Amino acid sequence: MDTMSNGADLGFEHRPANATARVLLHALGTLLAACLVALGAATSAHAASGDNLIKVFVVPEPTQTGGQPATLQSIAASTLGDPSRSVEVFDLNRGLAQKDGGALNGPDDQLHPGWILRLPQDAAGPEVQLARDTGTQNTVSSAPGSGQRTSPPNTAWTTMFTIPLAAVVAVLAAIVLALITAGIVARRKVRIAYAASLRTVRKLGEPVRRRRRLMHRRATGRRFALDAESVRRAYEALDEFVPTRKQPERPVHALRVDAAGVTVWLTVSDAAEDPWTNIDSTRWRRPAAAGGRPARGDTTAMTAQASITTACLVRAGTDSDGEPVFVDLSRLDGVLSVSGDQIVARDVVHNLLAEIARTRPNTPVTVLRATDGALPITVPTGLQQLPRVGAFAGAAPASRQGTVRAGASRRPVQGLVVVAGSPGERETAELAALCGPGGAGWTGLVCGEASGAHWRWYTDADGRVDIPVLDVQLTVPA
């Protein structure tokens, strides 16, 4: 006996998967077309006549409105948002014969339940309904004693426009079935189309989102300009980490100040005492109620005052909770390189200059314009801008490559070198002479890539700056 069998032996017809998909989609398209034809037949009586849709208001019974009869003013208030537009409603319905034989001939006439009143096309609300203009001509007399006759609008009364529920359900069911079948047959194509549509939606909404973020960043800048309390609290918190006879210096690289307390970034090898609690390897936090400054008048206080004088805290931006985060520029050890989006990088540097102008006025600043054509940076009022510095006397800068934060030396911010753009060969030499090891001891702020920079920040077009050395991302003021 031959034990081998195949599809032909058993009566099955082999059909490729893509052929099956085409047949299924063709059947689905036929079903959808049939549903659409049924919907068109159900509504053809309304569409074929060419009548225009209008908006109307059906006067309710007083029992439906809490005993208060409807008036033209109440109708205008609920459907147009303005009671004074009752004149428009009156003009549209003046002399229009209603089903009970009555008509509206004066703005103060009583409205009878069941009357159908025309509304302006901008009317909206749950009481507004759609109707068809029947085109019937009417002419009625005006109020007695007026001596005039008026021609009412070109409508006798209106008929409600509806779509059969069964047709709507059939169409919706066909659409849902089409989507489900398309997802089963071509899941990969659906995923690709869905991802493309999401990208399109994000792209269309990107200008609005960026304008909203820009407004938020500008509000943050105004808040920083008026906020002196967080600066005072940040320096007070810094007081608690100055060197004493019993405790060596514990460098604080950044602080976060909020109403509930203070968070500090320390070196991995350092620790803080009670009431400070550890968050992770570098961050420590204490509640606001546990804060306190050491008593002034002993050697510890004098040492603390010297440390605070050396520190230069600036608010680099706000975190995800909207709270300011301070960075100590005296820990930069030379040069800060801010790269990424050029506009946001300029905002970062300009904000740092504004912060220094508020806390350390008259700090000397010299601006170097790079060779990449970047626009110059405006120095805020309060800082002492110096002309471009030429040659520098003193020791030649020592070469130092591959430094890490733990090996950084602290230096007071005695002068600032600002480079608008990535420095060229000449600007790099000037940076090394002013800010490098063995140089003049100044601090460099570069809007671009700077070789040998000890700290590097990265910006994006949404107004954020990433500070890898602190493992934090901030929103910068604009």
Domain boundary among 122, 154, 186: 154
Quote the pLDDT of residue 19. 59
CB 333 within 8 A of CB 409: yes
**Residue 476 confidence (pLDDT) above 70:** yes
| Banded pLDDT at 446 (limits 50, 70, 90) | very high
What's the mean per-residue pLDDT of the chain?
A: 77
Report, as an integer, the average pLDDT of 47-60.
Answer: 74
Quote the pLDDT of residue 165. 65
Q: Which residue has the higher pLDDT, 48 or 120?
A: 120
Quote the pLDDT of residue 198. 75
Domain boundary among 137, 154, 171: 154
Report, as an integer, the average pLDDT of 130-156.
Answer: 47
Answer whether residue 197 is part of any domain: no
Looking at the structure, tell me whether residues 235 and 116 fall in a common domain. Answer: no
**Residue 258 confidence (pLDDT) above 70:** yes
Answer whether residue 273 is part of any domain: yes
Looking at the structure, tell me whether residues 276 and 148 fall in a common domain. Answer: no
Answer whether residue 195 is part of any domain: no
| Banded pLDDT at 13 (limits 50, 70, 90) | very low
Q: Which residue has the higher pLDDT, 451 or 394?
A: 451
Domain boundary among 154, 189, 213: 154
Answer whether residue 103 is part of any domain: yes
Looking at the structure, tell me whether residues 337 and 417 fall in a common domain. Answer: yes
**Residue 268 confidence (pLDDT) above 50:** yes
Looking at the structure, tell me whether residues 345 and 417 fall in a common domain. Answer: yes
Quote the pLDDT of residue 207. 79
Residues 6 or more apart in contact with residue 128 via CB below 8 angstroms: 55, 56, 57, 79, 119
Quote the pLDDT of residue 302. 38
Quote the pLDDT of residue 65. 80
Instruction: Report how many domains make up the chain.
Output: 3
**Residue 392 confidence (pLDDT) above 60:** no
Looking at the structure, tell me whether residues 367 and 444 fall in a common domain. Answer: yes
Report, as an integer, the average pLDDT of 426-438.
Answer: 82
CB 252 within 8 A of CB 236: no
How large a percentage of the chain has pLDDT more than 70?
Answer: 71
Quote the pLDDT of residue 331. 85
Answer whether residue 194 is part of any domain: no
Looking at the structure, tell me whether residues 381 and 280 fall in a common domain. Answer: no
Answer whether residue 460 is part of any domain: yes
| Banded pLDDT at 175 (limits 50, 70, 90) | confident
Looking at the structure, tell me whether residues 122 and 71 fall in a common domain. Answer: yes
Looking at the structure, tell me whether residues 467 and 352 fall in a common domain. Answer: yes
Answer whether residue 444 is part of any domain: yes
CA atoms within 13 A on the CB side of 350: 20
Distance in angstroms (rounded) separating the CA atoms of residues 132 and 123:
16
**Residue 88 confidence (pLDDT) above 90:** yes
Which of 169-173, 311-315, 444-448, 454-458 is the least confident region?
A: 169-173
Answer whether residue 44 is part of any domain: no
Q: Which residue has the higher pLDDT, 142 or 440?
A: 440
Most confident option among 11-15, 32-36, 137-141, 342-346: 342-346
Looking at the structure, tell me whether residues 282 and 339 fall in a common domain. Answer: no
Quote the pLDDT of residue 149. 36
Looking at the structure, tell me whether residues 303 and 338 fall in a common domain. Answer: no
pTM (global) more than 0.85: no
Q: Which residue has the higher pLDDT, 177 or 350?
A: 350
Quote the pLDDT of residue 287. 92
**Residue 240 confidence (pLDDT) above 60:** yes
Range of the domain at 371: 333-389+410-475
Q: Which residue has the higher pLDDT, 75 or 196?
A: 75
Most confident option among 17-31, 364-378, 446-460: 446-460
Quote the pLDDT of residue 350. 93
Most confident option among 156-170, 318-332, 368-382, 403-417: 318-332
Looking at the structure, tell me whether residues 240 and 271 fall in a common domain. Answer: yes
Looking at the structure, tell me whether residues 357 and 439 fall in a common domain. Answer: yes
| Banded pLDDT at 356 (limits 50, 70, 90) | very high
